């Protein structure tokens, strides 16, 4: 286990001070210190492994401590509201008081779907839901009635209620479309950090600030996905580098 560590900011050769933190900086990992001794630090992120217990801790803390900040609006769901039951992998009518996860992502070519009929990002999202203890996942392309224009219009007009009432929204902010998936969850690994060890001390390069990564993503260029992020109370954001959690009361990242 990597201990908490001291972070040394390394500015680029521009002579300018960053507003919050530099785009690139090096974390000094001190293996001789106990994990909780320091407040800030750099951490080695595993490219092919997500720490779901840590993600659960973020979500549970928000649910327990932010009752006045992060309550769902309890708006009326759209007509014929359906969700994916990840235990049966079928689209079903949502049960009453359904505790579901919503997915915000960039659509892709339907031909890019996996053999199961679901896109890669949906498959990965079902893995995340199962790991976090959720049974139901809502995905617009799969759950909205694409064959009934009248019902579809009402469902599209109720997107604020869908994302506002979701217990959690997964934001797929990596890649160009739904075929990319969620890095670190399925087959696609996350970007490997550069590091060097000198004796018992390890220097590790951390990643660009999350907000800068989001600004540069395809997800942020789409008007409706940006709206989905704004409407959602709790957001679990997947990038090529890390997973982050945002709600109305806090912001956590790996």
d(CA 244, CA 115): 30
Both tokens assigned to 173: 């902010």
Average pLDDT estimate for 30-49? 61
Centroid of chain to Cα 34: 29
User: In the chain, where are the structural domains located?
Assistant: 47-190+208-253
The predicted structure's pLDDT at residue 41 = 55
Average pLDDT over all residues of the chain: 81
pTM exceeds 0.95 = no
- Helix (H) / strand (E) containing 64: helix 52-65
Average pLDDT estimate for 213-237? 86
48-95 confidence digits (pLDDT tens): 999 999 999 999 999 999 988 887 766 677 778 999 999 999 999 999
| CB contact at 8 A, 155 and 90 | no
| 147 vs 129 pLDDT, higher one | 129
H helices of 166-232, where?
210-215, 223-231
| CB contact at 8 A, 178 and 185 | no
**Closest by alpha carbon to 45, among 37, 57, 33, 54?**
54
The predicted structure's pLDDT at residue 73 = 67
d(CA 130, CA 168): 13
| 200 vs 140 pLDDT, higher one | 140
Q: Using the structure block, give the residue that is written with the tokens 């995340």.
A: 128
Average pLDDT estimate for 120-139? 97
Average pLDDT estimate for 231-238? 94
């Amino acid at each position: 286990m990597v201990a908490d560590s001291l972070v040394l900011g390394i500015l680029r050769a521009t002579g300018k001070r960053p507003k919050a933190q530099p785009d690139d900086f090096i974390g000094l990992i001190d293996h001789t210190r106990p994990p909780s001794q320091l407040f800030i630090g750099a951490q080695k992120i595993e490219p092919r492994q997500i720490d779901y217990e840590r993600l659960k801790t973020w979500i549970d803390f928000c649910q327990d401590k932010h009752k006045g900040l992060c309550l769902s609006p309890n708006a009326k769901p759209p007509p014929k509201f359906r969700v994916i039951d990840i235990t049966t992998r079928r689209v079903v009518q949502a049960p009453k008081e359904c505790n579901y996860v919503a997915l915000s992502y960039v659509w892709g070519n339907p031909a890019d779907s996996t053999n199961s009929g679901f896109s890669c990002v949906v498959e990965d999202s079902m893995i995340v839901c199962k790991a976090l203890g959720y049974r139901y996942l809502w995905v617009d392309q799969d759950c909205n009635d694409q064959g009934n224009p009248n019902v579809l219009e009402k469902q599209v007009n109720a997107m604020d209620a869908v994302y506002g009432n979701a217990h959690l929204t997964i934001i797929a902010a990596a890649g160009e479309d739904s075929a990319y998936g969620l890095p670190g969850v399925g087959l696609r690994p996350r970007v490997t950090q550069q590091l060097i060890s000198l004796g018992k001390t390890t220097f590790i390069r951390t990643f660009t600030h999350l907000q800068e990564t989001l600004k540069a993503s395809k997800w942020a260029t789409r008007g409706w996905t940006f709206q989905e992020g704004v409407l959602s109370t709790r957001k679990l954001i997947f990038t090529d580098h890390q997973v982050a959690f945002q709600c109305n009361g806090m912001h956590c990242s790996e």
